[in-house]
Structure 1
Amino acid sequence: MTGKKFALLLFFFCCCTPYNVPAELVDRSVAIVNNDIITLSEVNELGQPLFQKAASEVPPEKLQEVMEQIRSSVIQKLIDKKLLLQEAGKMQITVSEQEVENALQRILVNNKISRQQFLEELKSMGMTEPLYLEDLKGQILRSKLVNYEVRSKVIIPEEKIIDYYDLHYTEQVGAGGYYILQIGVSKNTLGADGRKLSQKKAKEKITKVHKLAQQGGNFKELAQQYSDLPSAKDGGDLGIFQEKEMAPFMRNAIVGLKPGQISKIVETPSGYQFFTILSSQEGQIITKVPYESVKEEIREKLYQQEMELLYKSWIESIRNKAYIKIL
């Protein structure tokens, strides 16, 4: 199964309202949700990918138990979906055809796929475009309802953002500690031509980057661009090390450095490295990234967390008021 097919199946399982299976199959009610019913065919349709996966992977002696767990989970998901649709009906929340088309276009753009390719993927899964669009319409309807009932009530004060920033984006230097950034070039890294760098080429590369750093280049940006060490993605950020925790080559290069100074190039067992330190002063608070650069990212993360908590509380309150019976 391709990644796109899997993503589509996951989308249907998590978000979409299922459809009845062909009429020739025997159907029956498995649950009542106020004035609506959930049918066996709905459960089978929504749970089909999980049922098939369990059938192929679970040992025979445990299969029945796992199937029952999946069935129970699917029924609970369907109950929540029925309740959401009922609430939308009470509030007369509707979705236009243009809204559905706009949503589909966003899906196509985000997945970098043409409409024709998308239709072929649907066909390979036995899904038609009208059925998919109807499912998408249901998802938009639910999103509108959740937006009205939950999202509009979520407020993230500035103090929460600052607290999160202090916890996750700053660090305090302890006694004898050094906050270290590194840049390194491995002797076995691949060059632009796809070949491994020779020791000579590796040294030439690290010398070039070292010079850029000494000339005032942004150390973190240089690390992201030139370093081939795991720390490169974090701008060469290694965090805080005590002197006794450092490898000898690191200790010799770092001890005695002042914040912002660039160390000499040192040879390591695998290549060449050099360092800088942000601080070696006890009690100094180090900011890993500027607050303003991550403020909105933090706000969105906290917003999603708070919304999830409120949503769970809200759907639970609806459940408590509803008539629900599993048959």
Structure 2
Amino acid sequence: MKSLNHAPSRAMQFFTSCIMLISLALFPFTSSNAEVVDKSVAVVNNDIITMSEVNELGQPMFQKAATEVPSEQLPTVMAQIRQNVIQKLIDRKLLVQEAARLNISVSDAEVNNAIERIISRNRVSRDQFLEDLKDIGMDETQYREDLKEQILSSKLVGYEVRSKIIIPEEKIIDYYDEHYTEHLQDDGYYILQIGTETSKSDGLHGDAAKQEARKRIKKIHDLALQGKDFKELAKRYSELPSADDGGDLGTFQEKEMAPFMKKAVVGLKPGAISSVVESPSGYQFFTTLSSKEGKIISKVPYDSVKDEIRDILYDQELQSQFEQWFKDIKEKAYIRIL
């Protein structure tokens, strides 16, 4: 199942929790030739929610549940899921009512454009996209309704919440200090590594494999000496497990280092590139973000992550304020589940 990353904002996830189970009890059938009698299941201000609306929202998941829920668990699941479906419909009614009060709407064209962006972002065909929806128990009609709800929510957030959010510089600095710096002990070193392994020398063995591994490390080492970003070089070329983390090994005290690492690192100035040293499995070289002379180190420069941190804090504040805003709307509303 490919990710369907379609929420315009993290705050909108408040409305988009996926209901994975539904039961036959949501469908009040009588005899085979009888009519289905609709009834009200909830009141939201001046609107009602009917059983047919509950059935319509739950229907795509019903068939999935029919094959997955053990019969002995079905009564409990029925009661839980029915309440979830009704609650989702209550939230939707409140959202639509508030949007109508503010004269905010979402057109079919906006929904179509959003779906096309989602398909493009996930790099799937439209047919595959629809298959992925089926895998999570949704059809296109329900997905469009959910997406329309998210876009409507985004517009409401923009109107009611976004303009009130300010992220002060001191909050960004506090976040940076907590997540992007590290306090070292007196003899600590924060180390990044890049390495090649003889076992990855295209089927060569012995001295030939070592020679090939050394040739590879020399090319990478030359790039590092030219000032190329060490972490990017590690991610692209290093053959060690730390490559995914940009070669980041974290902090070491001198007594914790392997002899080959100690030979390269001890005395190395922060930001300098070590010489290439032989390791038990191949060849490596290192850089340090700080040495024992520094008690607090920065893993990345503040200016390089400042905007990213601002976005993180903004999203957190947006979700918090949105949830409070919607909670206030809910508390003021007349809601009764029948």
Both structures adopt the same fold (TM-score exceeding 0.5): yes
1:152 deviates by 2.0
The 8 Å contact of residues 51 and 67 in structure 1, kept in 2 or not, is answered as no
- The alpha-carbon distance between structure 1 residues 67 and 188, as it changes in their structure 2 partners (threshold 3 A), is farther
For residue 238 of structure 1, report the CA deviation from its aligned partner.
Answer: 1.8
In the alignment, is the contact (CA less than 8 A) between 2:289 and 2:298 conserved in 1? Answer: no
Query: In 1, distance between residues paired with 2:272 and 2:283?
Result: 18
Matching residue of 2:2: 3
Tell me which of 95, 99, 114 is aligned to 2:106: 95
1:277 to 288, 297, 303: 288
C-alpha spacing 1:269/1:36, structure 2 compared with 1 (3 Å): farther
Which residue in the other structure is 1:77 paired with?
A: 88
Distance (Å, rounded) in 1 between the aligned partners of 2:78 and 2:99: 32
CA drift of 1:190 comes to 7.4
Report the 3-state secondary structure (helix = DSSP H, G, I; strand = E; otherwise coil) of the residue aligned with 1:188. helix
Structure 1 unmatched runs, 5+: none
Does the Cα contact within 8 Å between 1:169 and 1:289 map onto a contact in 2?
yes
Which residue of the partner structure matches residue 185 of structure 2? 174
CA distance in 2, matches of 1:295, 1:35: 47
Change (3 A) 1:26 1:185: farther
Question: How much is the aligned-residue C-alpha RMSD, in angstroms?
Answer: 3.6
Cα deviation for residue 26 of structure 1 reads 4.5
Choose 248-257 or 151-160, whichever is displaced more.
Answer: 248-257
Aligned CA distance change for structure 1 residues 126 and 308 (closer, same or farther; 3 Å): closer
Aligned equivalent of 2:32: none
Q: 1:114 to 1:52 in 2, by over 3 A?
A: closer
Give, in whole Å, the separation in 2 of the partners of 1:35 and 1:196: 77
**Partner residue of 2:307?**
296
Aligned to 1:228: 239
The answer to whether the 8 A contact 1:54-1:63 is kept is no
- Alignment of 1:260 onto 2:290: no
Q: What's the counterpart of residue 158 of structure 2?
A: 147
CA distance, structure 1, for counterparts of residue 138 and residue 190 of structure 2? 56
Deviation string, structure 1 residues 91-126 (Cα, Å, up to 9, x no partner)? 121234543443343234323356677678779988
Partner SS state of residue 306, structure 2: helix
CA contact (8 A) 2:264 2:274 kept: yes
Instruction: Report the alpha carbon displacement of residue 196 of structure 1 after superposing the two structures with TM.
Output: 8.0
Q: CA deviation at 1:87?
A: 0.7
Q: Which shows bigger deviation, 299-308 or 38-47?
A: 38-47
What amino acid is aligned across from residue 81 of structure 1 in structure 2?
A: R
Find the aligned partners of 1:278 and 1:298 in 2 and give their Cα distance: 21
Q: Determine the C-alpha separation between the residues in 2 that align with 1:123 and 1:217.
A: 46
When the two structures are superposed, what TM-score results if normalisation uses the length of structure 1?
A: 0.79
| In structure 1, distance between residues paired with 2:120 and 2:263 | 52
Of 28, 40, 54, the residue aligned with 1:43 is 54
Count residues in correspondence: 315
Q: Contact (CA 8 Å) 1:171, 1:285: kept in 2 or not?
A: yes
Q: CA deviation at 1:82?
A: 1.0
Aligned-partner residue type, residue 144 of structure 1? K
SS of 2:267's equivalent?
Answer: coil
Distance verdict in 2 for CA 1:53–1:168, change over 3 Å: farther
Aligned counterparts of 2:69 and 2:319: Cα–Cα separation in 1: 32
Q: Which of 156, 160, 164 is 2:167 aligned to?
A: 156
AA in 2 matched with 1:36: D
Once the two structures are overlaid, the 10-residue window that deviates more, 281-290 or 45-54, is: 45-54
Is this contact kept in 2: 1:85–1:142, CA < 8 A? Answer: no
CA contact (8 A) 1:54 1:67 kept: no
Give the corresponding residue for 2:16: 14
Instruction: Indicate the SS of the match to 2:199.
Output: coil
Q: Which amino acid in 2 is paired with 1:14? A: T
Deviates further, 272-281 or 242-251: 242-251
**CA–CA distance in structure 2, aligned partners of residues 3 and 196 of structure 1:** 38
Unpaired stretches in structure 2, ≥5 consecutive residues: 7-12, 19-26, 30-34
Cα deviation 1:265-294 (Å, max 9, x = unaligned): 333343322212222135443222222222
- Work out which of the residue numbers 253, 261, 275 in structure 2 matches 1:250: 261
Q: Is the 8 A contact 1:174 1:282 kept in 2?
A: no
Deviation at 1:231, TM superposition (A): 2.5
Who is 2:116 aligned against?
Answer: 105
Provide closer, same or farther for how the CA distance between residues 258 and 113 of structure 1 changes in structure 2, counting only shifts above 3 A: closer
Whether contact under 8 Å (1:266, 1:272) holds in the other structure is yes
Which residue, 226, 231, 239 being the options, matches 2:250? Answer: 239
